[in-house]
Structure 1
């Protein structure tokens, strides 16, 4: 990772409309001017948000589509959101072995609400709503997370959603059985269960699993700073102790596995600055260049739902087939779909997993994934950062 020597940037973050200009949770539509929303009831908040941002459901070609697909209101986003809420609360009342199916259907309906709200016309999504877009790669000998696999289809709710989150989704995950991912691969790429993953697969005499996520110093948030060229640059400080108590620089095995979109700041061995900057508008708005840069950089990070701001830099340039550089929602949904199939059709296989050496990882995923997913999706719907009460 090269050092940045010819750029100086302001010490304090750039101020935009009276607020620090910082990375937001939303991948696709961050509202940088908005205040942090404090709530412990995301479902009710999104209900209110939908009510105040009314969007009519309409066909692009009603003469053809309405006789084929029916009344427009049956596809209303609020209907799907309430369905998601019903599945969510039902899942929370069940034993953990019974939660995968309801958790997945909560996610599925939440995604349908998002798609119905964001798409311009019903024709844009209605055919995709006929299928999930995910399927099992059958292997009779599969009995652990490294042999249980999931593949994706061309059409369905999942691929439509994943493409809206990542424009290069088809390149990263082509359709078909030959391009299936294992559950172990999917779970490895999720920050909110990464400690459980490392604990599960690291043994005293075995090979150590590479840490994929690096925490930021003092629960900080990646912020934009103004450079001496008047462009805006993202700056982050990595947690020094992550690399060892006596570390005085980022070890080469870590620096080479980080994205080339980031460089080490000259004279500050644990501070990274974006390799490219983006111009500021002279008006009270953010430039298209800046929004494109932010969209690119956002993919390098994951956050963990918490009452604190817990951001992590992902080692997206780490070599190996286990690295899947998709947004965390796509990974969560694919994994939960596969586990929900197991719970429905092969409960004995789920029972085996819950008693195996992978039981803690399974427990953490099934306990935390639904809340993490809904938190992230709410940010995509609103463009706002939504935090638990007590955190601004």
Structure 2
């Protein structure tokens, strides 16, 4: 049966950068960086505490841009910390001033698998997890390698660093939400390049997604449907946001000139850590900031082994990715960068 792409307020509906409270009515924000826009938004909303933290975050971000990789994690982490406080303050979320994450090094050779990230039950990071309605992993630990594996913006660097590593992401094109003609039934759909379609694809996109071919192109779609009624738009949007959030747990953006989206495959090993990218980036940068501050000699050793490029790519690229994601969470708007990432 024919179907058409869903529009809200005359705007084609696509995946949104905000997990918690996306605004699907407003056009996307095109800006070289989100600092001024979010600051003005916070002023307009009279969020004084959040504005203070956001400005602090900006200062640390700018400081990081002029520092070498050995020093930048310290200021980058405090950029993340203050941006997260800005989000939590703007939403009226209570938090304690502890970081909520720690780390340690295991004995042995210089390896990202020997750098341990310990998740805690109280502090800024658990408060972020609570706001995003994610597990805080309290009492659990993961390696820095575990965390970096699950970030699409450095995944190619990861796979080149660790030969034979499982590629975790499938790039998606032309994502949208379809509605069956003369029906309230609607669903998520996106095109997949045929290069990524093989005997394992159907299994790897499980659970919850299915692969199909239409007019010599391949698509994935969400098996679960949602109901959309043009006569009850506000109720439909409320239900749609819940549907969107379940999809965004598996589909992750890279913020760029036209935000790119990646479906996380269902492979052994990734199910133990199901948090969104911002939580993982926060935790990983905290561990690197500890090394940069407390054990810089040992940290320098990580740049003399095979994962040095991966580490450098993360330190360089993570701040912009984190800040764009946080800007989207604060405002509920979709941000895109005018320059290619």
- Alignment check: 8 A CA contact 1:223 1:235 kept: yes
Residue 262 of structure 1, aligned match among 174, 195, 209 = 209
- Alignment check: 8 A CA contact 2:110 2:305 kept: no
If the length of structure 1 is used for normalisation, what is the TM-score?
0.81
For structure 2, list consecutive stretches of 5 or more residues without a partner in the other structure. none
- Alignment check: 8 A CA contact 2:147 2:280 kept: yes
1:104 Cα deviation from its structure 2 partner? 0.2
1:266 Cα deviation from its structure 2 partner? 6.0
**Greater strand fraction, Structure 1 or Structure 2:** 2
Change in CA separation of 1:289 and 1:153 when aligned onto 2, cut-off 3 Å: same
Classify the secondary structure of the residue corresponding to 2:110: coil
- Alignment check: 8 A CA contact 1:261 1:297 kept: no
Partner of 2:179: 226
1:14 Cα deviation from its structure 2 partner? 1.2
Between the aligned partners of 2:148 and 2:111, the Cα distance in structure 1 is 13
Matches for 1:183-202 after TM superposition, within 5 Å: 183-202=144-163
1:230 Cα deviation from its structure 2 partner? 2.0
Q: Which runs of 4+ in 1 moved over 6 A?
A: none
Partner of 2:22: 30
Classify the secondary structure of the residue corresponding to 1:211: coil
If the length of structure 2 is used for normalisation, what is the TM-score?
0.93
- Alignment check: 8 A CA contact 1:258 1:318 kept: no
1:146 Cα deviation from its structure 2 partner? 0.8
For structure 1, list consecutive stretches of 5 or more residues without a partner in the other structure. 1-7, 56-72, 203-207, 244-249
Partner of 2:239: 289
- Alignment check: 8 A CA contact 1:259 1:300 kept: no
Partner of 1:67: none
Between the aligned partners of 1:267 and 1:306, the Cα distance in structure 2 is 28
Residue 258 of structure 2, aligned match among 305, 308, 324 = 308
- Alignment check: 8 A CA contact 1:185 1:322 kept: no
Classify the secondary structure of the residue corresponding to 1:252: coil
Matches for 1:298-337 after TM superposition, within 5 Å: 298-315=248-265, 317-320=266-269, 324-337=273-286
- Structure number with greater Rg is 1
Partner of 1:86: 59
Change in CA separation of 1:278 and 1:85 when aligned onto 2, cut-off 3 Å: same
Change in CA separation of 1:168 and 1:47 when aligned onto 2, cut-off 3 Å: closer
Partner of 1:347: 296
- Measured against aligned partners, the alpha-carbon deviations of 1:277-334 in whole angstroms (never above 9, x if no partner) come to 111132343343222111111111111121122111111x212257632100000000
- Alignment check: 8 A CA contact 1:13 1:20 kept: yes
Residue 240 of structure 1, aligned match among 191, 194, 212 = 194
Between the aligned partners of 1:240 and 1:379, the Cα distance in structure 2 is 31
- Alignment check: 8 A CA contact 1:149 1:183 kept: yes
Classify the secondary structure of the residue corresponding to 2:43: helix
Change in CA separation of 1:226 and 1:140 when aligned onto 2, cut-off 3 Å: same
1:54 Cα deviation from its structure 2 partner? 2.1
- Alignment check: 8 A CA contact 2:154 2:313 kept: yes
Residue 169 of structure 1, aligned match among 107, 128, 135 = 135
1:39 Cα deviation from its structure 2 partner? 1.1
Matches for 1:1-392 after TM superposition, within 5 Å: 8-10=1-3, 12-55=4-47, 76-119=49-92, 124-125=94-95, 128-129=96-97, 131-141=98-108, 143-165=110-132, 167-170=133-136, 173=137, 175-176=138-139, 179-202=140-163, 208-217=164-173, 220=174, 222-228=175-181, 229-241=183-195, 243=196, 250-265=197-212, 267=214, 270-281=218-229, 282-285=231-234, 286-315=236-265, 317-320=266-269, 324-389=273-338
- Alignment check: 8 A CA contact 1:43 1:85 kept: yes
Between the aligned partners of 1:9 and 1:168, the Cα distance in structure 2 is 37
- Alignment check: 8 A CA contact 1:224 1:232 kept: yes
**Bigger mean CA deviation after superposition, 12-21 or 106-115:** 12-21
1:135 Cα deviation from its structure 2 partner? 1.0
